[in-house]
């Protein structure tokens, strides 16, 4: 008899090719599955809420795994973390759930944070967790542009060319931009996102913030539903999968 475990995870994506297993590069998924195998001797398969890309971080990612070994949540957490020693991944919590729970399919909202440091001096300890933008950014104009994206739209302008989603139609629940000195933080939430959607939005909003684009330029690019009309893709290191929400019973 197997038990389904809901794992809450934190990781620094800098040294990984992303979440998903790849044949010739280390991934978060492979590293975790190997740690679980060392603990229980089972060839575990993890299912995840958000398949983060190369270099993208996670604060409270959620995955689930079915295991035959009888154990407790605390033991599973501590044992897997023991075998993860030396890797920038941690299991924050392991909780048993019923087999109707699915880390990806049961999710009702995902939240991402994108961090920008708006200064000319190079970054030091934040180099792997933020995007340095040296030219001044007007966050008020960025927020006005961002507000256009709220609701249900065709997000093709911000969709990577190799995105595998069946449709470019997504509903953006929120997008908020805050400045604290030289630190600019963008928060955005939706049930799901297209591949590179957040990074493409951030890169395009920075064109507005720098004055290179007007609000009208942004509106026209969005309405074009064409990735070629959008702005650049913001670097991966500034993006963090912040949290995922589930129905109350999960």
Residues noted as catalytic? 53
Question: 58 - beta bridge partners?
Answer: 11, 241
- Residue 114 tokens read as 């994108």
**In contact, 73 and 96? CB cutoff 8 Å:** yes
CA distances from 30 to 77, 160, 199 (A): 17, 25, 25
Query: How far apart are the C-alpha atoms of 5 and 72, rounded to whole Å?
Result: 10
The tokens for 227 are 């990735």
Helix, strand, coil distribution of the chain in percent, nearest 5: 30, 30, 40
How long, in residues, is the chain?
250
Which residues pair with residue 11 across a beta bridge?
A: 58, 89
* Secondary structure E strands in 16-56: 47-48
């Amino acid at each position: 008899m197997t038990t389904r475990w809901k794992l809450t995870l934190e990781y620094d994506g800098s040294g990984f090719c992303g979440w998903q297993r790849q044949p010739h590069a280390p991934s978060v998924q492979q590293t975790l599955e190997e740690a679980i195998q060392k603990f229980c001797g089972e060839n575990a398969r993890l299912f995840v809420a958000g398949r983060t890309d190369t270099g993208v971080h996670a604060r409270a990612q959620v995955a689930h795994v079915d295991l035959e070994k009888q154990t407790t949540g605390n033991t599973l957490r501590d044992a897997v973390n023991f075998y993860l020693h030396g890797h920038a991944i941690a299991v924050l919590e392991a909780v048993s759930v019923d087999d109707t729970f699915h880390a990806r399919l049961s999710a009702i909202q995902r939240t991402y944070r994108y961090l920008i440091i708006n200064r000319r001096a190079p970054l030091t300890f934040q180099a792997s967790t933020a995007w340095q933008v040296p030219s001044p950014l007007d966050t008020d104009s960025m927020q006005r542009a961002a507000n256009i994206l709220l609701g249900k739209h065709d997000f093709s302008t911000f969709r990577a060319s190799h995105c595998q989603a069946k449709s470019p139609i997504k509903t953006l629940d929120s997008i908020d931009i805050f400045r604290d000195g030289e630190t600019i933080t963008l928060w955005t939430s939706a049930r799901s996102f297209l591949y590179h959607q957040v990074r493409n939005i951030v890169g395009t909003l920075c064109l507005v913030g720098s004055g290179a684009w007007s609000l009208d330029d942004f509106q026209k690019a969005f309405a074009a539903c064409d990735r070629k009309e959008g702005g650049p893709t913001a670097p991966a290191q500034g993006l963090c999968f912040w949290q995922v929400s589930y129905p109350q019973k999960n």
